[in-house]
Chains A and B, each alone.
Chain A
Amino acid sequence: MASARTFRKGVDLVAARSSALHAPRASIGSTLLRRELSSAVRAAPRTPSARLTARVAVPQVKTQAVRYASSSSEPLAKTQLYDLHEAHGAKMVPFAGYSMPLQYADLSHVESHMWTREKASLFDVSHMVQHHLSGPGAMNLLMKVTPSSLDKLAPNTSTLSCLLEVGTGGIVDDTVITRRGEDSFYFVTNAGRRTEDLAFLQAEIEAYRAEHGADSIKWDILEDRALVALQGPKAASVLQPLINASSAASTDLSTLYFGNCRELYLTLPDGSATPHPLLISRTGYTGEDGFEISIPTSGAPNLPEQVVNLFLTDKDTVRLAGLAARDSLRLEAGMCLYGHDISTAQTPPDAALGWVVGRDRRDPATANFNGASVILSQLASPKSLTQRRIGLSVEKGPPAREGAVVVDLADPANPVQVGVVTSGLPSPSLGGQNIAMAYVKNGLHKKGTQLGVQVRKKVLKASVVGMPWVESKFHRPS
């Protein structure tokens, strides 16, 4: 909670005053596992989500009887791949109520990061929450809670979006939404926001049903699915030969572009096809080409492990990677981590995510998504924004991390706080160059602006740069 408070305080300071240069720097440094732990730590004390789901009685919880959230006194949940992680010498850490791999015995954090950039890595992201929403009201509901033009989304394509708070337009969570059919959507939300997201969606869905009937929307949380991400330049060449010819959809991955998905079977070592098709989406959180693969487990509890072992057959190409590499990869790719770089204290335009607002959803006369009046006026008049998410490249020295204060050095003798770092580390791909995401006062967000970042007793020079730091290599139609 301390760092959450610091973050909020920092954001307020961006808008307001300048004092905090000498304030206690509770969040600088903190723990070895800070990033990994913090989303669990900073979330409000949670009740077991099973209780929530029981109360709301919506999601069909099929497998795990009780799935605990992240109160420290409660046992951590395990993903379907927990035993496999242990067998590969993973350092397991608590993350969002789950015991998750931070890194594995075979590669250091930096080695694993570079492996992903050069070859391919397999990440277990089964802690994330997979949803299915269908029925005649599904699209209307999703277009109320997000600003995306989901009606323009072709079947089996996806978009990054944000769940928005009623009234304020603050970001409740970021999510990738895939249209599976006319009235059918698959979307994935953050594990660290499970409790908040479920409560938020439940309230929205109940309100919709009250008006349009109980059958207008069907909502399932897909507890009987694992989720893994295969990421890196070799991802497609690893996956392609494993696709089973019996798949109904095209088995040619070269025509599965970034943002597309397909249901495909894989071939198991005995030559048989997987008992279920896997939902394979060309997307990821590393900036590399790659896939997120949703694996059904009903009647086949070992399927996730079987599938992962297929990928791991060639140890010279694919290795397991954990949360440590995932965090440094996504930061280099300029991607936000919820609870750090975005929160309910920001709207999409604050967070430089204005592009998630669909072009045809910007007419104030018709826009009906949560927070539309706030967000549309920000888009129409960017000068009204009080804070801006930016990238910083910071001079050689100690890394500027979350919580570090950003200062204006116009008068070096009297540095004035103008922002706060929300994520930062020495970039493994850039030879250890210090990079950081930060919020700064509007007007100081332009590329090339020279600022300072205070790290312990030092003020380091920093310049505002465009993101990403490492160019994304998504597979797009040429």
Chain B
Amino acid sequence: MSAVARSIRPFASRALAQKPLASACRAAPAFRFPRGTRSFSQSPLAQVKKYTESHEWIELVDGTNTAKIGITKYAANSLGDVVFVELPEADLEVSAGEPVGAVESVKSASDVLSPVAGKVIRGNNVLEDNAKTINASPEGEGWIAEIEVSDAAELEALLDEAAYNETIDH
């Protein structure tokens, strides 16, 4: 399936990094990062939620190597109505930048790339029957995959919240 992998380009290049979207995003309702409204229980580790330039987020569960991966609110807004989510199979081993799922709207398909290397524990079954959860809660209920991270230190190279906002805030 290397052919498939080769054909899969980062979410960013496919979906969001294009000039048109920059203007699209200016026109769209302003991106609001859920600063101050985050209510998950492991809030002391807010810094372990990281982002990629291709608009994925990854968040480590407190004190473990288990992480959830999803797409950012900005990405979900840009995609529009999500109608289908392709979830990864359990035990799939991925390297950083390899697809761990796909998100499809009526008009497009976009791969979701794993921000770090790891092994899939499970996909989020909620999305099988209700893909729109991605639009309603992209950084909460709409997570896409849970993975066992190979090396938690790999997260350090990713963008923090402020740096990610920089990439989309113009």
CB within 8 Å of B: which residues of A?
Answer: 22-26, 28-37, 86, 89-94, 102-103, 105, 108-110, 113, 324, 327-328, 397-399, 401, 425-426, 428, 432, 456-457
Q: Which of B1, B102, B108: most chain A CB closer than 10 A?
A: B108
B residues within 8 A CB of A30? 9, 14, 108-109
In the bound complex, CA of A9 to CA of B21 (Å): 30
Count: A-B pairs, CB below 8 Å: 117
B39 on the A face (CB < 8 A): no
B80 and A28 contact, CB distance less than 8 A: no
Which of A23, A91, A105 has the most chain B CB within a 10 Å cutoff? A91
Asked if B124 is an interface residue, CB under 8 A from chain A, the answer is no
Q: Are A32 and B107 in contact (CB under 8 A)?
A: yes
Tell me whether B18 and A31 are in contact (CB under 8 A).
Answer: yes
Q: Does B67 contact A (CB under 8 A)?
A: no
Bound Cα distance A34, B79 (Å): 12
Contacts of A324 in B (CB 8 A): 80, 106-107
A29–B28 touching, CB < 8 Å: no
Binds A, one of B57-65, B81-89, B154-162: B81-89
What's the least CB distance linking B95 to chain A, in Å?
Answer: 18
If A22-B3, A425-B107 touch, whether A108 touches B80 (CB-CB below 8 Å) is yes
Asked whether B41 is an interface residue with its Cβ less than 8 Å from the other chain, the reply is no
For A23, the chain B residues whose CB sits under 8 A away are: 3
Q: Which of A28, A398, A425 contacts B106 (CB 8 A)?
A: A425
In angstroms, Cα B18 to Cα A29, docked, is 15
Do A105 and B27 touch across chains, with their CB atoms under 8 A apart? yes
| Contact of B18 with A110 in the complex, beta carbons under 8 Å | no
Instruction: Check B106 against A29 for contact (C-beta < 8 Å).
Output: no
CA distance A401 to B110 in the complex (A): 12
Minimal beta-carbon separation of A61 from chain B (angstroms): 27
Q: Which B residues are in CB contact (< 8 Å) with A26?
A: 7
Whether B81 lies near A108 (C-beta < 8 A) is yes
A92 pairs with B27, CB closer than 8 A: yes
In the complex, what distance in Å separates the CA atom of A103 from the CA atom of B4? 31
Q: List 14 A-B contacts (CB under 8 A).
A: A29-B7, A29-B14, A30-B9, A32-B78, A32-B110, A33-B20, A37-B20, A92-B23, A108-B81, A110-B80, A324-B107, A398-B102, A399-B109, A432-B83
A89: which of B27, B80, B104, B106 is its contact (CB, 8 Å)?
Answer: B27
Chain A: CB-nearest residue to B8:
A29
B interface residue numbers (CB < 8 A to A): 1, 3-4, 6-9, 13-16, 18-21, 23-24, 27-29, 78-81, 83-84, 86, 102, 104-111
A103–B29 Cα distance when bound, in Å, is 13
Q: In whole angstroms, how far apart are the Cα atoms of A432 and B129 in the complex?
A: 12
Q: For the complex, what is the distance from the CA of A428 to the CA of B13, rounded to whole Å?
A: 26
Q: Which residue of B lies closest to A100 (CB)?
A: B20
- Given A105-B29, A109-B106, A398-B104, A28-B7 contact (CB < 8 Å): yes
Please judge, given known A-B contacts A105-B27, A105-B28, A425-B106, whether A32 and B21 are in contact too, CB under 8 Å: yes
> A397 contacts B14, CB within 8 Å?
no
* Minimum distance in angstroms from B52 CB to a CB of chain A: 16
**B81–A110 touching, CB < 8 Å:** yes
Q: Closest residue of chain A to B78, judged by CB?
A: A32
Query: Quick check: B102 and A102 within 8 Å, CB to CB?
Result: no
Cβ B14 vs Cβ A32 within 8 A: yes
In the complex the two chains form, is A31's CB within 8 Å of B14's CB? Answer: yes
Nearest CB of chain A from residue B80's CB, rounded to whole Å: 5
Q: How far is the CA of A22 from the CA of B4 in the complex (A)?
A: 8
* Shortest distance from the beta carbon of B125 to any chain A beta carbon, whole Å: 15
- Complex Cα–Cα for A37 and B6 (A): 22
| Contact of B23 (CB < 8 Å), options: A31, A32, A91, A401 | A91
Contact B7–A32 (Cβ < 8 Å): no
Say whether A32 contacts B106, CB under 8 Å: no
- A86–B84 Cα distance when bound, in Å, is 30
Smallest distance from the beta carbon of A458 to chain B beta carbons, Å? 9
Tell me the nearest residue of chain B to A30, going by C-beta.
B14
Interchain CB contact under 8 A, A110 and B4: no
Question: Of B13, B102, B110, which is within 8 A of A456 by CB?
Answer: B102
Given contacts A102-B24, A105-B27, A398-B109, contact A32 B15 (CB under 8 A): yes
